[in-house]
Amino acid sequence: MPEQPPPRLVVGAAIVRGARVLAARRTTPPAAAGRWELPGGKVEPGEPPAAAVEREVDEELGCEVEVVAWLDGTSRIREATDDGPALDLRVALARVVGGEPEPTDEPGGHDQVRWLAAEELDEVDWLDSDRPFLPQLRHHLARVAADQRRLVLFEEEDALAVQQRLVADGFDAVLTRERLAGEDDDEDHPWAVLTDAPTFVVELLLDEVDGWLDEGDQPGAGEQAGPRAGWTPTAPPALPTAPKRVKRPDQA
Ligand SMILES: Nc1nc2c([nH]c(=O)n2[C@H]2C[C@H](O)[C@@H](COP(=O)(O)OP(=O)(O)OP(=O)(O)O)O2)c(=O)[nH]1
């Protein structure tokens, strides 16, 4: 019996931002069209798998990502056929470092993307071989969410400046617009920045803009549920353009 060639590796990118992962809807082949996957593709001979992730995401979604870790395990996509070797899927955790992921017009690409939180992962029809990775992904997203701080800002300009500054300093930071609890109209919803930056970094930024840190239902959040005591609205000064030198509390 002829020897089987080794399985060919397919890599998928679990692009995580603000406790959500990006899922992409395939347009081809007919059997997979309309189903959801992690953007990626086949690793070229001799290509490092992380480089393949970054190349495929750039081709398919027109943005730059960086691989930060690999999820455990390999999932068999198909057994060897006359058309080629078996295909195995590995999944990398990645983050966006340039541009905005959007479906490109590339043939064989995607027609839609969605950012899914841990509790939304089951809302889309994943390709079968992606499903074994979902529990790990759910666990990771839940951990990121638990570790996230929410900064509430009234001005879009401030929110954007804070978000961009956090990203420039290497943190994950996502801008959203959310209703404050109890609000019932569409006006004046504050802006929120969700970030993994530690509290002391967030507090330094908040000294310079009109907003506060909302720690939600985390322990000790009670006193933080509104503007800080002694808080007086003032015109926000321009944010600094270079990182500040700060001493971490544990190094004081
Ligand atoms: N990209 C990607 N492919 C997946 C996933 N799950 C899964 O079963 N597959 C399958 C679909 C395809 O049969 C195969 C990858 O093919 P592809 O068409 O995305 O890869 P590619 O861009 O390198 O393809 P090619 O046209 O150059 O051959 O793996 C996944 O999460 N991401």
Distance 139 CA to ligand 1 centre (A): 24
Distance 199 CA to ligand 1 centre (A): 40
Per-residue pLDDT of the chain (252 residues; tens, 9 = 90+): 567 788 999 999 999 998 999 999 999 999 999 999 999 999 999 999 999 999 999 999 999 999 999 999 999 999 999 888 999 999 999 999 999 999 987 776 899 999 999 999 999 999 999 999 999 999 999 999 988 999 999 888 999 999 999 989 988 898 888 655 555 555 566 889 999 999 999 999 998 888 889 865 443 333 333 333 333 333 444 555 655 454 555 554
3-state DSSP assignment of residue 225: coil
The answer, yes or no, to whether any atom of ligand 1 lies below 6 A from the CB of 12, is yes
State the Cα–Cα distance between residues 173 and 195, nearest whole angstrom: 4
The answer, yes or no, to whether any atom of ligand 1 lies below 6 A from the CB of 127, is yes
User: What is the layout of strands, in order, in the sheet containing 173-177?
Assistant: 173-177, 191-195, 149-153, 211-214
Distance 1 CA to ligand 1 centre (A): 28
Residue 150 near residue 192, CB atoms below 8 Å: yes
Distance 17 CA to ligand 1 centre (A): 22
Residue 52 token pair: 């393949």
Residue 160 near residue 134, CB atoms below 8 Å: no
Q: What pairing do the DSSP bridges indicate for beta strands 40-42 and 87-98?
A: unpaired
Q: ipTM of the predicted structure?
A: 0.95
Residue 40 near residue 53, CB atoms below 8 Å: yes
State the Cα–Cα distance between residues 60 and 104, nearest whole angstrom: 6
Global pTM reads: 0.77
Chain Cα centroid distance, residue 110: 18
CB-side neighbour CA atoms (13 Å) of 189: 15
